[in-house]
Amino acid sequence: MGGARAVAAALLIAASACADSPTGPARSDPIDLALDWKTATPASQRIQADRLEAAVAHARSLPRLLSLLVVRHGKLVLEEYFNGNHADSLNDVRSVTKSVIGTLVGTAIQRGVLPAAGDPIGNYLRPPILELQPDKAAIRVRDLLTMSGGFLWDESTTLGYNEWILSGDYLGYLLDRPLVAAPGATFNYNSAAVHLLSVTLAVAAGGPLDAFADRELFAPLGIRRVRWEILPDNFPNGGSGIDLRPRDLAKLGALWLQGGRSGDRQILPAAFVQEGTQPAFPWWQTAAPLRGQSYGFLWWLTRDTQPAPGFYASGHGGQFVWVAPDLDAVIVVTTDWRNSNGLANQFSANGLDLIVNHVLPAFR
């Protein structure tokens, strides 16, 4: 399956510092993410060391867990690896790829490659590249960012993703389907639609998406090791399959936490980050540990987690980049999902439980 269907909460991200609160001192100025992480003790960043140690002990008991990292106030306070994983390992984080694509859209808007999220995809995908029917040409970049393209699609089972990826016709398989909802109106999780967005972005950028990503996003964040799943049509799989180091996943979260800034450089428009971390749809309910939930710009949103809500990237089989602006924190969890013999949903549940019920309670 392209990604775990779990979600998370609407928050306003501001580039400016927040006021002192019971959860910690005022947020520091945006750090330069091109540099290596500075480390600090949990206690120095107002995290209870004993509770964090208990969270690590619990993490060691989880099957297939690969990493657990915690960043607070711009400092790496916890970095633990399991089951042969290490700091330089590239982890396949499945649908966390979608949040990377969402980030690249923001980068493209900041650079003027895409004028605005409200642009129709037909402005870019036109003959001889692709001939879209008028109703599909009118789908906006924003609609694909919010999983509301309107296509007839069901990705509620593993088969939904696998049939698409095995089709070999990654755009045609989607575009042959009718629109059953007005674009922008209804949330419907769709990996193929995010791939369509990634192809739109590549065309707008005038070259390979991975090259654009290296130049405009990864290099400014000091991310030097990336592996994409390249499909037979020579486009990276925009819906799933990027490999990154856990430390670099934390930089992705930190970029959004910092309102799109890295040091004194604005990599994403602040307004794009603000809009992209607010709910595009009314809140809906799901099971614990997440209850109130919605969706932003290819990030899940949650409002009911304690001690603070957050937004996060989520990938099949237990991959998470959790951002908690009220705590000025980023938490990364990765899991070995391959050949999981039907246990991938359990691995995702384990990762969420680790973050929500074991790591977050350690924050003060």
Q: Which domains can be identified in the chain, with CATH numbers? A: 38-362 (3.40.710.10)
Q: At what angle do helices 96-111 and 246-257 cross, to 10 degrees?
A: 50
Is this structure's pTM higher than 0.85?
yes
pLDDT digit string (tens) for the chain, length 364 residues: 344 333 333 222 222 333 334 344 446 689 999 999 999 999 999 999 999 999 999 999 999 999 999 999 999 999 999 999 999 999 999 999 999 999 999 999 999 999 999 999 999 999 998 999 999 999 999 999 999 999 999 998 767 899 999 999 999 999 999 999 999 999 999 999 999 999 999 999 999 999 999 999 999 999 999 999 999 989 999 999 899 999 999 999 999 999 999 999 999 999 999 999 999 999 999 888 998 999 999 999 999 898 999 999 999 999 999 999 999 999 999 999 999 888 999 999 999 999 999 999 999 9
